Structure 1
Amino acid sequence: MTVSALSDRHDAESATPRQIDLRRGGRALAGSYLYEGDKLLTGWHSHDVHQIEYAMGGVVEVETRAGHYLLPPQQAAWLPVGLEHSATMNPDVKTIAVMFDPQLLPHAGNRARILAVSPLIREMMIYALRWPIDRRVGSREEEAIADGFFRTLAHLVADALDHEAPLNLPTSDHPIVAAAMAYTKEHLQSVSAEDVSRAVAVSERTLRRLFGDTLGISWRTYLLHARMLRAMALLALPETSVQDVSSAVGFDNLSSFTRAFAQFSGETPSSYRRRVKRVEEPTGRRRR
């Protein structure tokens, strides 16, 4: 997700995926990166290291060939080495990323995941800011301390990979399904199956069959998940009310929205909003 300050903005927006050398030719076994900035589209890219990115504030959206992921505040995204992805850094984003040489997590899988990180992992990621990923390798003693720290963090992250949060939407190469998903996401406030069917020129019956056959879920389930993920992103923005968010994602009344949100996320919209707006202030190097 991190592209070295998303170092070369022009190149990062290229349509051709690139592999980014976050170590800038260095030999660090692991390291960190702090990003604060305005809205940014990274373009498709990959890394030569594993990456876990923790959202301190704001919302990040990540897309891979397999799905569309939402990274709300106080959650972490796992992106294994070599995974092609693109990211949208929404306004007021603040994230901490820790990168690991693949040898530190040799069995990390090959897909993106959103993790509910423990307080210990969060604090260790903040502490890791003293060792930037593009640092010059120091003395043998200094690097031994850093390597020991990151090996411990890598073990904790490996355990956390078994506890991912369902904060993603599927993607599809099927042209009708892809068009239907795009239309659904663009019209969450008032969309219906009839509207989508008309927009993609198929019957409602065909629409339901294609979603089931292609994605393994119904269009109605896709709609609900899209609404919940959009609601989580909106609730993290400044000056938003729960009522406004409820209306924006297509609910007729606040009580039905609250019930659906709680079933999806395990907490009410109000408690989620309070939690994600408690932004922590890490110490360390700040870069844009």
Structure 2
Amino acid sequence: MMKSKQSLATSELAKLHVERLAAIEAASEPVYAIPSEYPAGYHVEPHSHSRAQFVYARSGVLMVSSILGRWMVPPQHALWIPAGLVHTVDMLGDVAMLSAYVSPQALADPPTAIRVVALTDLARALITEAVAPPEAKSGRRDLIMALLLEEVLRLPDRPLGLPFPSDTRLATLCRGFMESPSARLVIDDWAERLAMSRRAFTRFFRKETGISLSTWRQQAAVFTALPRLAAGEAVTAVALDLGYDSVAAFTTMFRRTMGAAPRAYFRAPEQY
């Protein structure tokens, strides 16, 4: 039976990904930078690399998952993935990304945790230049890579990580909420399902995730909303689907979490 065009494309992308991983491991330069594109819905199987990865979502939204949680990278943001961390990647929409793979020796004190960061104009320009073909006998590329590393450490964090608990009962509740998020989640309901008092559950949830349930719920709602908003869906439709009583309530939550109202947040800066 002949493969469909879609399955053939998926097979070719998987082969290309394996080739990229081999090239990353074989690279000798301190920073190895490459561009890549993936179609909506594509899933990158669990993998890791000996280098840290700094990945910039130039367009589309990508979701990175590991045993530690999930991290969303919307357009004009980037993610730092520490070396050796096994993770998967899911494309929420067509994704164009630029990645810089940083050797362990390139930074004296590299970040050891996953970080979602907002890009400055300088960082965006540097990583765009980093993936360009190198000029023959030019020291310009070395200067670009060195400055990129300096800028990466200065970028502001964004609350786009969603930690997942290790407790299987609590993890089941969290995954169920991700499948059907709601602004009306009540702490007492989850506490009762785990046969705990409200106070005991509150302490337990913070111990397992590092944040409160209300903060986790807001970030989970943002995870659901961002791909839809980035695809151009109306703020009203997204807000109502998430169970918010009004667009104003959703906008207030979004602004508190992301630093700007939805429409302002998706006003893309100048592209390079």
TM-score normalised by L of structure 2: 0.82
Cα distance between partner residues in 1 of 2:27 and 2:55: 20
Shift of 1:117: 1.5
Shift of 1:6: 10
Q: 1:260 maps to which residue?
A: 253
Q: 2:6 maps to which residue?
A: none
Paired residue for 2:228, among 230, 234, 256? 234
C-alpha spacing 1:159/1:255, structure 2 compared with 1 (3 Å): closer
Alignment of 1:84-99 (within 5 A): 84-99=86-101
Work out the percentage of aligned pairs sharing the same amino acid: 25
Structure 2 unpaired stretches of 5+: 1-9
Q: 2:145 maps to which residue?
A: 150
Shift of 1:267: 0.8
Structure 1 unpaired stretches of 5+: 14-18, 133-137, 283-288
Per-residue CA deviation, residues 167-217 of structure 1 (Å, 9 max, x unaligned), is 111111111111111111112147633896399554573644531342343
Is the partner of 2:72 in helix, strand or coil? Answer: strand
Shift of 1:226: 0.8
Per-residue CA deviation, residues 61-110 of structure 1 (Å, 9 max, x unaligned), is 11233221111110110112222222112221111112222222231122
Cα distance between partner residues in 2 of 1:6 and 1:75: 28
Kindly report the root-mean-square deviation, in angstroms, between the aligned alpha carbons of the 2 structures.
3.1
Q: 2:7 maps to which residue?
A: none
Tell me, yes or no, if the aligned pair for 1:45 and 1:86 is still in contact at 8 Å. yes
C-alpha spacing 1:123/1:58, structure 2 compared with 1 (3 Å): same
Q: 1:246 maps to which residue?
A: 239
- Residues 39-48 or 254-263, more deviating: 39-48
Structure ranking higher on relative contact order (CA contacts 8 Å, 6+ apart):
1
Cα distance between partner residues in 2 of 1:121 and 1:190: 35
Paired residue for 2:263, among 258, 270, 287? 270
Is the partner of 2:28 in helix, strand or coil? Answer: coil
Q: 1:33 maps to which residue?
A: 34
Alignment of 1:85-234 (within 5 A): 85-131=87-133, 141-142=137-138, 144-160=139-155, 163-189=156-182, 192-193=185-186, 197=190, 200=193, 202=195, 205=198, 207-234=201-228
**Alignment coverage as a number of residue pairs:** 260
Q: 1:60 maps to which residue?
A: 62
